[in-house]
């Protein structure tokens, strides 16, 4: 029995050391760099839904009151021209999206931005908006499709019947002139690998049909690592993934155990300027979400 306890203790110690090593390998923190002149800065963040019927506890109304200032500080720190959000939802049950506390709060606090890929919840799923700086970009078009056998049916369930998941998208043009481009904002399901892969294949098809070979950015929470089959399907559609280093999901504790699942990808001809940045910071002593924001700077083709 003593040997059994000794082996168990050694196993636990080994797991702890591995976890510590993983945390160190997937961490790193630095200031948000200034945006290089003449570039387009894009960012993505999963901000976690708010449970409207839960007064206290994790992701409750009280929790939202405690973290909303930190979320606004994080948003301002990005200094981005466009930010793709996932899980920007105030959930009361069902598909009703008439209340969206996070979206409305950030727009109120940041009047220089507007929300694309958003609309009346009965005809446009509102939980994955793309905020854009309206003095820098003009909104040309927007839309959505669900990761489903019926992708154009709003709130249709995923390929294996799990909760609805979808892509939102918007087409922009630089306000001062330049080529139009599409931004696709995705959130793939975390449990099912086949769901993620079929979702990625659908995104690749829709990029080909909607963007018709024009400049494309893909932002969002893939729930998949770079080099995974899910990412490879998107790479096969002509997207190049920015090399995001370290963790982007941290369990709402700053614990960084595995590599990036939140990504920025761009089509050929969209030139990255510097490496992408993961903002692994608390603001006002609070984590804004259980995901870190990720940003990247790009130059549009002439």
Q: What is the pTM of this model?
A: 0.92
* 249-283 residue pLDDT tens: 999 999 999 999 999 999 999 989 999 999 999 99
* 83-125 residue pLDDT tens: 999 999 999 988 999 999 999 999 999 999 999 999 999 999 9
DSSP symbols for the chain? -HHHHHHHHHHHHHHHHHHHHHHHHT----PPPPPPTT-EEEEEEE---EETT--SSTTSHHHHHHHHHHHHHHHHHH--SEEEEE---EESSTT--S--HHHHHHHHH-TTEEEES---TTTS--SS-EEEETTTEEEEEEEEEESSSSTTSTT---TTS-S--EEEEEEEEETTS---EEEEEEE--SS-HHHHHHHHHHHHHHHHHHTTTS-EEEEEE-SS-TTSHHHHHHHTTTEEE----S-SB-TTTT---S---EEEEEETT-EE-S--EE----BTTB-S-SB--EEEEEE---
The mean predicted confidence, pLDDT, of the chain is: 91
């Amino acid at each position: 029995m003593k040997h059994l306890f000794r082996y168990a203790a050694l196993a636990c110690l080994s797991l702890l050391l591995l976890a510590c090593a993983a945390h160190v390998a997937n961490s790193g923190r630095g200031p948000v760099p200034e945006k290089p002149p003449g570039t387009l800065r894009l960012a993505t963040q999963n901000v976690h839904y708010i449970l409207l019927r839960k007064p206290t506890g994790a992701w409750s109304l009280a929790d939202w009151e405690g973290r909303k200032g930190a979320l606004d500080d994080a948003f301002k720190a990005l200094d981005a021209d466009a930010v793709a959000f996932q899980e920007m939802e105030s959930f009361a049950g069902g598909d009703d999206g008439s209340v969206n506390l996070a979206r409305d709060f950030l727009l109120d606090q940041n009047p220089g931005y507007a929300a694309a890929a958003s609309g009346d919840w009965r005809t446009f799923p509102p939980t994955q908006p793309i905020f854009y700086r309206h003095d820098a970009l003009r909104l040309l078009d927007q839309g959505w499709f669900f990761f489903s056998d019926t992708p154009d049916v709003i709130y249709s369930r995923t390929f294996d019947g799990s909760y609805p998941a979808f892509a939102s998208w918007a087409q922009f043009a630089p306000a001062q002139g330049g080529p139009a481009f599409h931004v696709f904002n995705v959130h793939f399901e975390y449990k099912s690998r086949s769901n993620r892969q079929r979702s990625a294949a659908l995104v690749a098809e829709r990029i080909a049909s909607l963007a018709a070979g024009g400049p494309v950015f893909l932002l969002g929470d893939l729930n998949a690592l770079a080099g995974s089959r899910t990412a490879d399907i998107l790479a096969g559609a002509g997207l190049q993934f920015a090399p995001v280093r370290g963790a982007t999901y941290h369990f709402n504790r700053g614990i960084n155990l595995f590599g990036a699942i939140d990504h920025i990808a761009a089509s050929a001809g969209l030139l990255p300027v510097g490496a992408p940045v993961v903002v692994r910071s608390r603001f006002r002593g609070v984590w804004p979400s259980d995901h870190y924001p990720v940003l990247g700077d790009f130059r549009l083709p002439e």
